[in-house]
Amino acid sequence: MHADTAVSRDTPQAAAPARRCRVLLVEDSARLAASIRDYLERHSFEVFIEGDGLAVAERFERLKPDLVILDLMLPGKDGLTICRELRRFDRIPILILTAKGENIDQVLGLEMGADDYVVKPVEPRVLLARIEALLRRARSAPPEAREAKLAAGRLSIDGARRSATIDENPVELTTGDFDILWLLASRQGNVVTRDEILRVVRGIDYDGLDRSIDARICRLRRKLLEAGGAESMIKTVRLRGYLFAGEG
């Protein structure tokens, strides 16, 4: 179901002095979508609504948004499939919406390449804070990484470009993946707690229950392996956190 209010918004206003941050909101609940759009537009975002899972790819290509907010339950094509497809050809931040208590969907969303999630019912201020945090990370490297490079054996990390390679093979990283890899590699040989990682990638404290970091680490290990590295580059330290061991 297309939102008729969004169709007329697809063409940016030529008179605008500068393009506002553009958000593609994929949500089939017209009431919720309108509520989110109105709130974000009051905070200087430009929001486009799409409610049909089958139309998201085409809309994404046409709009070239700065961030995608993606519901998981959609007509035509589910959000997890869309997330995986978008991530194949673009690294822009993806924030998923998931129903309260659906922890498996949160984990699966992160596995498919999402950068963060917000639980419904959506608290507007929380949503805005998560969006702003994702955009900040997408636009700039951590302060200490802006002009820096890290090397650990065959792995090279470029802080300015926010990229990593293993023997010149690129490691496919989302915004959150890069932030975690940089944090761990910059502290090579030292344990980094889940709380530290969660504060970096989501801006919140670890509550002892959130399993999203474990899913992210699992995904990062797999990506390192696919690029020619080893899963053992990142070790789990029981009851403490994670340690970047390089290839030792």
The whole-number pLDDT of residue 127 equals 93
Assess contact for 70 and 114: CB atoms under 8 A: yes
Closest CA to 178 of 235, 237, 130, 138: 138
Name the DSSP class of 28: S
Q: Which residues of the chain have pLDDT under 50?
A: 1-9, 12, 14-17, 143
The pTM of this model reads 0.63
Task: Give me the CATH code for the 143-244 domain, please.
Answer: 1.10.10.10
Residue found under tokens 């530290």? 196
d(CA 97, CA 153): 38
Query: How would you classify the pairing of strands 116-120 and 94-99?
Result: parallel
> In whole angstroms, what is the distance from residue 18 CA to residue 185 CA?
37
| Annotated domain spans of the chain | 4-139, 143-244
CA 180 to CA 216: how far, in whole Å? 8
* CATH number for the segment(s) 4-139: 3.40.50.2300
Instruction: Supply the pLDDT for residue 102.
Output: 62
DSSP string, 57-126: HHHHHHH--SEEEEESS-SSS-HHHHHHHHHHH--S-EEEEEETT-HHHHHHHHHTT-SEEEEESP-HHH
Structure tokens of 245?
């061991």
